[in-house]
Amino acid sequence: MQTTRMTMAQALVRFLAKQRVERDGVSNPLFAGMWGIFGHGNVTGMGQALEEVAELPFYRPQNEQAMVHASIAFAKMKNRLQTFACTSSVGPGATNMITGAATATVNRLPVLLLPGDTFAGRMPHPVLQQLEYPVAGDVSVNDAFRTVSRYWDRIVRPEQLIASLPEAMRVLTDQAETGAVTICLPEDTQTEAYDYPVALFEERTHVVDRPVPAEAALARAVELIWAAERPLIVAGGGTIYSEASAALAALAERCGIPVCETQAGKGALPWDHAWNAGPVGSNGGLAANRLADQADLVLLVGTRFADFTTASRTAFQHPDVRFVAVNVSAADAHKAGATPLVGDARATLDALADRLTAAGYRTGDDYAAEVARLKGEWDEAVDALRAVVAPDALTQANVIGVVNEETGPRDVVVCAAGGLPGDLLKLWRPVDPKGYHLEYGYSCMGYEIAGGLGVKMADPEREVVVMVGDGSYLMLHTEIVTSIQEGRKLIVVLLDNGGYGCIRGLQMANGTPSFGNELRARDGATGRLDGPVVPVDFVRNAESLGALATHARNETELRDALRQARLANRTTLISVAVPFDPGVPGFESWWDVPVAEVSSQPDVQAARAEYVEHRKRQRVLI
């Protein structure tokens, strides 16, 4: 056997550079590069290898969590067919990636994490930043990655790479299993040499097929749909990853089935497609929520069917409602007692459409008329919420409307947490399947700017507009620096409402007075955080990091600022002050957030009574 002698880290870099992914005959490198922050746990191992082997582009972020966010945003934009690897030092550098790992795994987005680990040989232990775990000698902080990774390994001998890497690549490229893959690299093992087989470094292409469910499973689903008078499709993120928009539109049009959308699925159909009934669930709109309420058959496509989509299992009230779930992941396809169709979304929708049209299935004209009427009403409601009424002030809904109007059809809006995701779901009008990028699986504050950078790196031709609350911005905004470093321009629209508006709203709607969510100083008299507003100048903050920045106080200033930002060649932040109350109501829906069962406060007692009432509508779907 022909071998080549190199360190474990050198072998790893070489191997990663040779991996490719292919779908529909199109092939690309699996790894667009490696992000990393060096410390003693990786600089002389992985760092040395990256410099010498030089086969993978290297990117340096400002924060390890952020580099994972950037990687998975990139992967999401690439429909999970390409991602990054991330190297960190031992200890805090490694554990900073855990939140990113969870975000990846919850959202089923691939990323390869390579945390440095303490010495496999243990001679100098305890080393700087080592967790000493008195009851088990083989545990390090990196064991904390296990629960948030789809595959986890620790390489304590250099030859273990040969067995571990194929498994890691399989999981990363498997559309059902993908998520964070973590391979822990003890700092001594990274530097140890081994005679690796040359074959390990040959180019390898991982093919992503489009599996279709068994014929019998399709027949069962067709039979259920055939019996339905009020069917409804719920389009989730898998629809977009599978590039199933045309297949979805064809099924909807040919069979007369309205489509509603989740956060990850929004954009699968353009907002103005005749059969797009808009968003469903807790943050859904009028049309989709009314259709869901009375649907007798729900066809779930590529959705995790989480609580915001099901309105905490109150969205579907037809007494005999049945579910059919198309999903590449069997775990998702079997949720809520659904008839499972385990397969690729596009291929399965094509197969269903063929069989349903061959059988002559189409819903009645009265259903089509009802969908059109509800859609019309919903579109009017959105217009009204977006319309600017005050000449000298803007609501969050107004800002969303103006930003949407000022962006082009291929531009991408990026968001993750706060009150914005719900309002964007209702009010943003995408026309391109990649135009609406929400991380709402983990809804991780701090994803926004790092994620925006990942999106921009995935498709530099598109303008990327990051919409972010002041709270999320303060939690993690330093990838602005990386955007300048990489020459990747972002337009950041910051909604400054003086704190955690959505959580304050949730708190007060459930009977507790405003407490702990506003950005206020401690008051000497009350001893609480209800003193004066803590002044933060977000414009000067962004400028200090190298961005262009401006305030926008009204519609004219916001439009001007957005146009300037489009012309600029550098990341630009636009700060807009908005009231705490975003002014966007819920639409006949609910979200299960538990309220205190016992309290001396009458408002909490009333909220609890209301909560108990709402829970009666919650359905057991098995």
CB of 568 to ligand TPP, least distance (A): 24
Interface positions, 499-518, toward Mg ion (CB under 5 A): 501
- Residue 587 tokens, joined: 């639409």
Residue in 131, 274, 503, 604 binding ligand TPP, rule: CB under 6 A: 503
Residues near Mg ion (CB under 5 A), total: 5
The entry of Mg ion, ligand TPP, none near residue 419 (CB within 5 to 8 angstroms by kind) is ligand TPP
Q: How far is CA 147 from the centre of its chain?
A: 19
Among 38, 471, 545, 549, binds ligand TPP (CB under 6 A): 471
**Piece of the chain touching ligand TPP by CB under 6 A; list 63-71, 82-90, 402-410, 442-450:** 442-450
Choose between 179 and 418: whose C-beta lies nearer to ligand TPP.
Answer: 418
Of 180-188, 370-378, 495-503, 570-578, which segment contacts Mg ion by CB under 5 A?
A: 495-503
Give me the torsion for CA of 402, 404, 407, 410, rounded to 10°: 180
Give per-residue burial for 592-603: e unless 16+ CB within 10 Å, then b.
eeebeeeeeeee
Query: In angstroms, rounded to a whole number, what is the distance separating the alpha carbons of residues 127 and 115?
Result: 15
Q: Which of 116, 422, 471, 511 binds Mg ion (CB under 5 A)?
A: 471
Identify whether the C-beta of residue 21 lies closer than 8 Å to the C-beta of residue 205. Answer: yes
**Of 172 and 502, CB closest to ligand TPP:** 502
Phi first, then psi, for residue 246 (nearest 5°) are -65, -40
Residue among 356, 445, 558, 584 that touches ligand TPP (CB under 6 A): 445
CA angle, 97 as apex, 39 and 113 as ends, to 5°?
85
Looking at beta carbons only, is 351 or 420 nearer to ligand TPP? Answer: 420
* Residue 174, H or E segment: none
CB of 444 to Mg ion, least distance (A): 15
Cα-based angle 387, 390, 395 (whole degrees, multiple of 5): 65
Minimum Å distance from CB 186 to ligand TPP?
30
How many helical (H) and strand (E) elements, i.e. helices and strands, does the chain have?
24, 23
Out of 64, 350, 470, 518, the only residue in the binding site for Mg ion (CB under 5 A) is: 470
- For residues 524 and 265, what is the distance between their CA atoms, to the nearest angstrom? 48
Q: How far is the CB of 384 from ligand TPP (least distance, A)?
A: 21
- Cα angle for residues 15, 34, 545 (degrees, 5° grid): 175
Q: Measured over all CA atoms, what is the biggest interatomic distance in the chain, rounded to whole angstroms?
A: 79
Nearest to 575 by CA among 475, 469, 466, 494: 494
Q: Cα–Cα distance between 587 and 272 in angstroms, integer?
A: 19
Q: Which is nearer to ligand TPP, 238 or 281 (CB)?
A: 281
Cβ neighbors of 419 (< 8 A, separation 6 or more) are 396, 469, 497, 501, 502, 505, 582
Counting contacts by CB under 6 A, is residue 577 touching ligand TPP? no
Residue 421 binds Mg ion (CB under 5 A): no
Partner whose footprint covers residue 542, from Mg ion, ligand TPP, none (CB < 5 to 8 Å by kind): none
Closest CA to 207 of 333, 93, 344, 89: 344
Nearer to Mg ion, 82 or 497 (CB): 497
Residue 420 contact partner, candidates Mg ion, ligand TPP, none, CB within 5 to 8 A by sort of partner: ligand TPP
Distance of CA 97 to the CA centre of its chain: 16
Residue 420 C-beta: closest distance to ligand TPP, Å: 6
- Per-residue mark of binding to ligand TPP, 387-426 (x: CB under 6 A): ------------------------------xxxx------
502 binds, among Mg ion, ligand TPP, none (CB under 5 to 8 A by kind): ligand TPP
CB 589 within 8 A of CB 426: no
Residue 413 interface partner, choices ligand TPP, Mg ion, none, CB cut-off 5-8 Å depending on type: none
Strand partners, 324: 299, 339
The answer to whether 321 and 215 have CB atoms below 8 angstroms apart is no
β-bridge mates for residue 520, sequence order: 533
Distance, CA of 521 to CA of 352 (rounded, Å): 59
Q: Of 197 and 505, which has the nearer Cβ to Mg ion?
A: 505
21 φ/ψ sector (left φ>0, alpha ψ -120 to 50, else beta): beta
Return the H-helix or E-strand segment holding 398: helix 396-406
Q: How far is the CB of 27 from ligand TPP (least distance, A)?
A: 36
Of the candidate spans 68-76, 330-338, 424-432, 438-446, the one that interacts with ligand TPP by CB under 6 A turns out to be 438-446
Count of other CB atoms within 10 angstroms of residue 609: 11
Residue number, 62 or 357, with CB nearest to ligand TPP: 62
Tell the smallest beta-carbon distance from residue 53 to ligand TPP (Å). Answer: 35
| Cα-based angle 324, 325, 328 (whole degrees, multiple of 5) | 150
Q: Is 584 in the site for ligand TPP (CB under 6 A)?
A: no
Number of residues that bind ligand TPP (CB under 6 A): 17
Q: Which of 447, 380, 408 is nearest to 73 (CA)?
A: 447
Q: Is 621 in the site for ligand TPP (CB under 6 A)?
A: no
Q: Check: CB of residue 73 under 8 Å from CB of residue 110.
A: no
Stretch that binds Mg ion, among 153-161, 223-231, 235-243, 465-473 (CB under 5 A): 465-473
- Binding ligand TPP (rule: CB under 6 A), the pick from 104, 212, 353, 502 is 502
DSSP string, 354-386: HHHHHTT----HHHHHHHHHHHHHHHHHHHHHH
Binder to ligand TPP among 285, 433, 501, 511 (CB under 6 A)? 501
Q: Applying CB under 6 A, which part among 147-155, 247-255, 495-503, 607-615 lies near ligand TPP?
A: 495-503
Of 444, 455, 466, 545, the one binding ligand TPP by CB under 6 A: 444
39, 100, 469, 511: residue in contact with ligand TPP (rule CB under 6 A):
469
Binding piece for Mg ion, criterion CB under 5 A, among 103-111, 395-403, 461-469, 546-554: 461-469
In this chain, which stretch among 212-220, 299-307, 497-505, 607-615 interacts with ligand TPP, using CB under 6 A?
497-505
Q: What DSSP string runs through 288-325?
A: HHHHHHH-SEEEEES----HHHHTTTTS---TT-EEEE
Residues that bind ligand TPP (CB under 6 A): 417-420, 443-446, 469-472, 497, 500-503
Residues that bind Mg ion (CB under 5 A): 469-471, 497, 501
